[in-house]
Amino acid sequence: MKIGNIKIDTPVFLAPMAGYTDYPFRVLCKRSGAGVVYSEFVSADGIIRENIRTLEMIHFKEEERPIGIQIFGNAPDVMATATRYINKNFSPDIIDINYGCPVPKVTKKGGGSAALKDLCLMDDITQAVVEAADETPVTVKMRAGWDLNSIIIEEAGPRIENFGVKAITLHPRTTTQKYNGKANWDLIKILKQSISIPVIGNGDIKNIDDIKRMFDYTSCDGVMIARAAQGNPWIFDQAKALFKKNYSPNKITLKSISTMCEEHLDLLIKERGNTTGMNLMRKHFSNYLKGFPKASIYRQKLVTAETLENMRAELIKFKIYADEFVSNN
């Protein structure tokens, strides 16, 4: 699969997720086999104001490539200025436009999926970003429409393609659905039939079987994984077996989980410092530690550890338990 001139070995993508796809999480997913990783979505206004926290969110390292930076906003000129700033200062492989976020604090200001209600505004933003991006491929992540009475993908897809966008990711729910109900994969199939650029499917991917079903059912070119990757970077390693002959994914064991937890904590501490790093790690412990005997006990101790020393001590106890569990089974 290619997006513009970017060759992608495994067409399984890590979705941009607010509060999750920071550098530590992205790099762990990349090492596990993600074909492309995306930053958290960032405000175009924040970029051109050079807001420190916003710029920190799109900082990345060479081992993450190919990587996409996702931006949102409601003004074509601001989106274009932010695109030029990103290109000049960060040089990502892909710039992605967010037309999918359903969160009211974003849509009330005209950002995210609010553009689905105004295709002329979507045209203007898309054209502005593509022109400002120069040779950097621009992609779009979008929803199917604002509500079930305004599904716009058959019209919006070709319009976006005509402006020079190199791929479209579709989450086939509407804005009003948010994350409720079932993602309608038929809409991914319809979009694929409506345009010639790559289509990346997203929504209701829970495991490796879902990835295969989405490819088979929709004929999409790639699949984007969001919540299924939380606490499970190994899903990208498993996905490799769909595309590489004779490839055997690593078996997920308690030992590999304990090792991943340690690596994740170390990365967060190095990037964000002791206090912020350990506080951010709490949600990841909740995702990693589930589905095995005594999971709730170790999860509770790690999530509630009051100091970094306590957290590391509890993690050592979990690693010992993991080693013993492997030995006994």
- CA 189 to CA 216: how far, in whole Å? 10
DSSP per-residue codes, 139-164: EEEEEEESSTT-B-HHHHHHHHHHTT
128: tokens are: 């502005």
6 bridge partner residues: 3
Cα 309–310–311 angle (5° rounding)? 90
Length of the chain: 329
Q: In whole angstroms, what separates CA 124 from the centre of its chain?
A: 25
Q: What H or E segment, with its residue span, contains residue 278?
A: helix 274-288
Residue 42's contacts (CB-CB under 8 Å, 6 or more residues apart) are 54, 57, 58, 69, 70, 71, 72
State the catalytic residue, choosing from 101, 120, 220, 261. Answer: 101
C-alpha distances out from residue 61 to 64, 66, 162, 198, 261, Å: 6, 10, 32, 26, 21
Cα–Cα distance, 68 to 84 (Å, whole number): 14
Q: Check if 101 is active-site.
A: yes
Looking up tokens 């051109």, which residue turns up? 48
Residues annotated as catalytic (active site), given as ranges:
101
